[in-house]
Amino acid sequence: MNGSERIVETINDLVAATRDGTVRQITVSGPLVDAPSITLLPEQSLRGAGARAGVSFTAGSDGLRLTSDNRVHGIHLNASADKRAIFNDTSVASLGSIELVGVTTHGCVQILASGAVRAGHVEVNGLDIVAADARPATDRPHGFNVDVIQGAFTLWNMQPEEDVVIGANLVGLSAGRPGAPVRGSGIFVSGAGQTGGRLTVKRLITDAIYNDGGIVPGTADKITGGVFTGFGADVDMVRNRGPITTRGANDMVLDNWGAVDRWTADANLTSHGPSGIGFVNFGTVNELKINAPIETFGEGARGFNVSSGTIRLAEFDRVTTHAGGAIGMQITPADRPARRAPRHRDVRRHRSIAGQGPFCSAGRHRPEHQARRLGPRDRDCRRPQDQQSGRGSDRTTGRDRIIAHHRRLRSVGGWFRSAGIGRAQFST
Query: Are the beta carbons of 249 and 219 closer than 8 angstroms?
Result: yes
Write out the chain's pLDDT in tens, 428 residues: 455 999 999 999 999 999 999 999 999 999 999 999 999 999 999 999 988 999 999 999 999 999 999 999 999 999 999 999 999 999 999 999 999 999 999 999 999 999 999 999 999 999 999 999 999 999 999 999 999 999 999 999 999 999 999 999 999 999 999 999 999 999 999 999 999 999 999 999 999 999 999 999 999 999 999 999 999 999 999 999 999 999 999 999 999 999 999 999 999 999 999 999 999 999 999 999 999 999 999 999 999 998 788 999 999 899 999 988 788 888 765 444 445 545 555 555 554 333 444 455 555 545 444 333 333 323 333 344 444 444 444 343 333 334 443 333 222 333 333 333 322 222 22
Is 8 among the domain residues? no
**Chain CA centroid to CA 128, Å:** 14
Is 24 among the domain residues? no
**pLDDT given at position 398:** 34
**CA 230 – CA 65 distance, rounded (Å):** 24
**pLDDT given at position 91:** 98
**pLDDT given at position 44:** 98
Closest among 222, 157, 218 to 184, alpha carbons compared: 222
Is 368 among the domain residues? yes
Closest among 121, 107, 191 to 153, alpha carbons compared: 107
**CA 205 – CA 186 distance, rounded (Å):** 13
**Range(s) of the domain holding residue 331:** 33-424
Is 16 among the domain residues? no
HSE at residue 342, side-chain half, CA atoms within 13 A, is: 32
**pLDDT given at position 371:** 39
Is 282 among the domain residues? yes
**pLDDT given at position 360:** 56
Is 28 among the domain residues? no
Query: How many structural domains does the chain have?
Result: 1
- Phi then psi for residue 275, to 5 deg, are 60, 25
Query: Are the beta carbons of 134 and 169 closer than 8 angstroms?
Result: no
**pLDDT given at position 3:** 54
Is 269 among the domain residues? yes
